[in-house]
Chains A and B, each alone.
Chain A
Amino acid sequence: MEKFKILVVDDEQDFLETILKRLKARKIEVTGMESGYKALEFVDTHDVDVIILDVKMPGMDGIETLREIKKKKPLAEVIMLTGHASVESGIQGMQLGAFDYVMKPVALDELLEKVRQAYDRKVIQEGKA
């Protein structure tokens, strides 16, 4: 069992349900939220290590959510998911402190590898603090 806790934020129900199912099948502690607002509420009351965040969502988009998450939990690592090549938001996201920027569709193993690296980074930073 992996040590980290993941939050996946995506407004696409189908995607969200499937990825949650697949991650849970690997015995990973994971929660899903279908909007930026709900994600922010969740991080207020729960411990999360790595957040996988869709860039394009109605209402509060991924960039805005990232900005707010980083204000609340600067040490939480965020991996941005994008359906299409959106370079501008990519730069913005990285500038706001996202850990990585990944294009959909992404292989689960690859995504998990990135999550592990992001988690390592969080552990290093917590050690510093």
Chain B
Amino acid sequence: MDAPEKKDWLLDERLLQSQKLAAIGELSAGIAHEINNPLAIIRQEAEWMQLLLKKLGGRDHKELEELQGSVHQIVQQVDRCTEITRNLLDFARKRDPVIQAVEVNRIIENMTMLVEKEAKHKNITIVRHYDETLPMIYSDAPQLRQVILNFLTNATHAIGKDGVVTITTRLSHDDAVDIVISDTGCGIPADHLSKIFDPFFTTKPPGQGTGLGLSICHGIILRLGGRITVDSQLGQGTEFTITLPRSRESELFAHA
């Protein structure tokens, strides 16, 4: 589906992307660490205030109640910040791949089963087109699981209700395997396509998505020597193709 001239542009773009990711990862981990300490102090002080306010309680002051409400709110918002810094630290922590023989179809099927129940409630059908003759590949199983799960969830989110997610596995031409995950969802606007792998890029309402999912997946696949391509039609759906090398020595891109 993609035009041949797109390839070179993609290569540069990918290099830039991985450098950008590394820089942002380091920066955000640093900030997250620094912010965690003051957050802990704020929380502790707020909890202390809660205790004191409780002792003052029973005097039936409207102001006292309001104070309790405010302090409660402070604690809750601190927890929200903690969740964000945690996510940042998880994001920044790169794990070196551990290479083992991996059955791609089986990993996908396991993760699909996890998603399928929830999908059924929303009338989303998952269609499998596995190439049963697919050879084992050498890759990192848990990291692949994380990626597959993320893409499957994104696909169901893009659909919302009533639609089809199709998963295809096949042998790719250059000693690699393709995992294709396509959905009949909302699609991605053309001007968003170049940003979807950026950390913190999200179209979800505040508090509902960290915008880290795809950038984490992108980083994982690059470290596994693979690549991700995307094809999307607004209003019709999106197709992601994850290409992974079969053996541990080969990398689809030298710089990855």
Contact = CB atoms under 8 A, between A and B. Distances in A.
Interface of A: 82, 84-85, 87, 90-91, 94-103, 117, 120-121, 124-125, 128
Contacts of A95: 90, 146, 216
A-B pairs with lowest CB-CB distance, top 7? A94-B146, A85-B117, A99-B142, A121-B98, A85-B118, A124-B98, A91-B149
A56 to B, nearest CB: 14
Contacts of B118: 85, 87
Interface residues of B, number: 24
Nearest to B212: A95
A53 to B, nearest CB: 14
A99 B146 CA distance: 10
Contacts of B115: 85, 87
A120 B150 CA distance: 25
Given A121-B98, A121-B100, A103 B113 contact: yes
Contacts of A124: 98-100
Interface string B83-111: 00000001000011011100000000011
Contact of A97 (B95, B111, B141): B95
B153 A99 contact: no
24 contacts: A84-B117, A85-B117, A87-B114, A87-B115, A87-B118, A90-B111, A90-B149, A91-B146, A91-B153, A94-B142, A94-B143, A95-B90, A95-B216, A99-B141, A100-B110, A101-B110, A101-B111, A101-B114, A101-B145, A102-B110, A103-B114, A117-B141, A121-B142, A125-B98
Task: Pick from B90, B95, B96, B142 the residue with the most CB of A within 10 Å.
Answer: B142
Given A100-B142, A101-B145, A121-B98, A91 B150 contact: yes
Given A99-B142, A125-B98, 13 more contacts: A85-B117, A87-B149, A91-B149, A94-B142, A94-B143, A94-B145, A95-B216, A100-B110, A100-B142, A101-B145, A101-B149, A102-B110, A117-B141
